[in-house]
A and B are shown apart, each in its own frame.
Chain A
Amino acid sequence: MISYELSEEQKIVRSTMSEFANTVLRPETRRLDDNSKIDDGVLSALWATEIIQSQADADGEGRSPVTNAIILEELAAADASLALAVASSMGFVQAIADQGSAKQRELLKAFAGPKFQAAAIAMMEPSFSFDVSKISAKASKAGDEYVLSGKKAYVPLASSCSHFLVIAESDGAADAFIVPRDAAGVKVEAPKGTLGLRALELAEVSFDGVKVPASMRLGEGNGADIQKIVDSARVGLASIMAGLSRGVLEYVVPYTKERIVHGTPLAQKQKVAFDIADMKIDIDAMRWMNWKAAWELESKLPATRTAQLAYTYASQQTMQIADNGLQAFGGHGFVKAHPIEMWYRNARSLSVLEGVAGV
């Protein structure tokens, strides 16, 4: 029965997250971007929300992709980098909770500690022709282990990650391997300077003949459903993009009402007012698409199509919203005194990432 009604718990989570994001995260956002680093205090505050820890539950009872989509939107309305920091570790934990063997799920106990525990899905590769359907990293079976080789890129907080879930081609299909950061042959490169999401310290990680025990192949004997990881990541990224877009809209409204041009506020000019109306329409539409895809994931229904559509729409419209938002600010949109230029960079960055989040 079709319903858009949030549960009481979801309503509380949404307002709590919104307040947390506005009061704790928002004031930090420019500083973190400037420093290209998320400092420990902010990471601790994120960890204290227990969003990541709560994903570890293997039967999935305590986990709701719909709730997670709501949380990521709220966090990203304040700061997309921080939302993705959460979504990245969350994606790792979920993939293992969802598809891992009992032994693999043991690893998640490490996520019960008091400190932010970074871990990431290593999906993307440093190639202009990269596509999630064409993974170059290889894992070949040799006896009781796999030998993993390849290069991964744009891994969030890579140098702090305890583990990577490395997506590699094995026997003609994509597979996932749990690899500790300190395993022999793993090398985390210095963070790349990137256009956007700078605080995430996106970095390349190379795997050079890394020996992975067969017991660390996600799902062990049966392997894992990599498409499920991609679907969940797409919904996660789309939720973050909806949040970023909302941040833009909320920032554009007061400015365009105050700024007088040729005698009237900018917001009273139809071009600007129509852009603002379209922002509102598209942000809401993104949210409903995200909820629908998340609901399919939650209901264990095939979600590949709706996840793709939600991700595609969010990618396209978020870029447009950030673009029109910047334009509304004119020269002020181009300078760092306002966050719009940062959101513009983040919008383009988010909408080209794949496999790096989870709901």
Chain B
Amino acid sequence: MVDFSLTEGDQRFLDLIQEEYELGRKFAREVDREAEHKPPVVKTLHPALEGKPDPYELLHESDEGTSGHIMVDALMHMVSAKDLDMRPEGLGFGSMVLEDFGTDEQKAKFGHLRLAIGLTEPGAGSDPGNMASTWRYDAATDEYVLNGEKVFISAINKLDGAVTLLRGVPDEQGRRVFSSFIITKDMKGFHEMQQFQKLGMHQFDIAGFTMDDIRVPAINRLEADFGRTMSRFNHNRPLVAAGALGLCRSMLDFTKAKLAEGGIEVDYARGVKARSAAEDKIIRMEALWEAAWGTVMEVKWKQTQLGTTSLGYRTEASMAKAIGGKAARQITQGCLELLGPEGLSEDYLAEKWFRDARIADIYEGAGEIQRILVARDVLGYKKGELN
């Protein structure tokens, strides 16, 4: 049966995470001002959370009485803005790839590592075919030799290493085969770069690394080709959209509260001609928020039915990411427009949310990439027919 009710269990998790986000919000401005200059190599729990259980860990332990851990995870992302990472960095995207596609031997050897994912390069973002980094096999030592540069790597400065996707040097047919390797920071030839200075998301560590003749044995090579490595995106993309919607929820609530202080209350009953331009704008932004919410929850429901590694929900995942990215841009831009000059002030978080949200339509696959994937599915085109 179609059902949109939250169970008591769902609500309990949402309350827990909301409380945590509210605590983080108190430190949001300070971190926004300073994080990039003083990278918080936080590996410990923020003191404000001392003694409080990690809601995600609790959910991982048991999702009994909830709509299911995949659904609740997404709902938690959408509760409000996550302004601060207050817990030790968990497993990175790379660790998930290892978990999904590593052999038992690889999991035993590398399972304890927290691994980022290294895909993007300065000249290859949305188009991985442009990757310049290389791997080659050295038969003399039975090792793989890795070279190149990876950028925009989430949390690399907090994690132990990365799963990095590289292209082989051309083989006899001239093909450059994609392959993934586990690398760690202690390897000779691994150089970590400085944090990026960026528009927003200062609380979010992003840096890069270079590989200068890193030599790894065969066990470090994952049987995760390009497609398999990317399949994790189907799980992550809707969550990125969900996180952006959480931010937009805070932005909308803040804007509505401030407008209400000035006597502008949104009335959802009246028609379009009986409301002010400000009310109308709020309603249209909230409509977009709901549209994105429904899309995120639908793909998460489908993921629950099909299993996370299924490719059966990838178009829906792209749809969620595309509409979430659009919502992030339009809602934060629109709210700041409504808030007027006072919204520009650093006394409030609205201007920070405006800066933070902009990346949502870029990372984890830009809106244009998502639309290509959706259009290919709708039109029955393959890669090469629509690029």
Contact = CB atoms under 8 A, between A and B. Distances in A.
9 contacts: A2-B6, A132-B269, A134-B274, A277-B374, A284-B316, A295-B2, A304-B268, A306-B290, A312-B287
Nearest to A278: B371
B257 interface: no
B291 A289 contact: yes
Q: Sort A-B residue pairs by CB-CB distance and give the 9 closest, nearest first.
A: A288-B294, A285-B291, A277-B371, A273-B375, A277-B374, A313-B287, A133-B270, A131-B274, A277-B375
A5 B2 contact: yes
A61 B386 CA distance: 49
B273 A129 contact: yes
B290 A268 contact: no
A249 B377 CA distance: 13
B323 to A, nearest CB: 5
B386 A273 contact: yes
B379 A281 contact: no
A323 interface: no
A268 B378 CA distance: 12
Contacts of A310: 287, 290
Contacts of B290: 289, 292, 306, 309-310, 313
Contacts of A134: 274
Interface centre among A2, A267, A310, by most chain B C-beta atoms within 10 angstroms, is A2
Contacts of B372: 270, 273-274, 277
B274 A309 contact: no
A7 B1 contact: yes
A227 interface: yes
A284 B323 CA distance: 11
Q: Classify the secondary structure of A's interface with B.
A: helix
Size band of the interface chain B makes with A:
35 or more
Given A2-B71, A131-B270, A277-B322, A289 B294 contact: yes
Interface stretch (B29-37, B47-55, B295-303): B295-303
Contacts, number: 157
B37 to A, nearest CB: 39
Given A277-B371, A284-B316, 15 more contacts: A1-B3, A2-B75, A3-B1, A130-B273, A131-B273, A132-B269, A133-B270, A133-B274, A230-B269, A273-B379, A276-B375, A281-B323, A308-B283, A309-B286, A313-B290
A278 B322 CA distance: 9
A284 B293 CA distance: 12
Contacts of A312: 283-284, 287
A291 interface: yes
A141 interface: no
Nearest to B286: A309
A286 interface: yes
B381 A268 contact: yes
Contact of B378 (A2, A276, A296, A309): A276
Contacts of B4: 2, 291-292, 295-296
B321 to A, nearest CB: 10
Contacts of B3: 1-3, 295
Interface residues of A, number: 53
A79 interface: no
A273 B375 CA distance: 6
Contacts of B286: 309
A310 B4 CA distance: 15
Contacts of B339: none
Nearest to A249: B378
A257 B273 CA distance: 41
A282 interface: yes
B368 interface: yes
B374 A288 contact: no
A304 B6 CA distance: 19
A49 interface: no
Interface string B2-39: 11111100100000000000000000000000000000
Given A273-B379, A288-B295, A288-B297, A281 B374 contact: yes
B96 interface: no
Given A3-B2, A304-B268, A309-B287, A285 B381 contact: no
Nearest to A10: B2
A329 to B, nearest CB: 16
Contacts of B269: 132-133, 227, 230, 304, 308
A284 B319 contact: yes
Given A274-B371, A292-B294, A313-B291, A5 B1 contact: yes
A281 B270 CA distance: 27
A305 B268 contact: yes
Contacts of B116: none
Interface string B202-222: 000000000000000000000
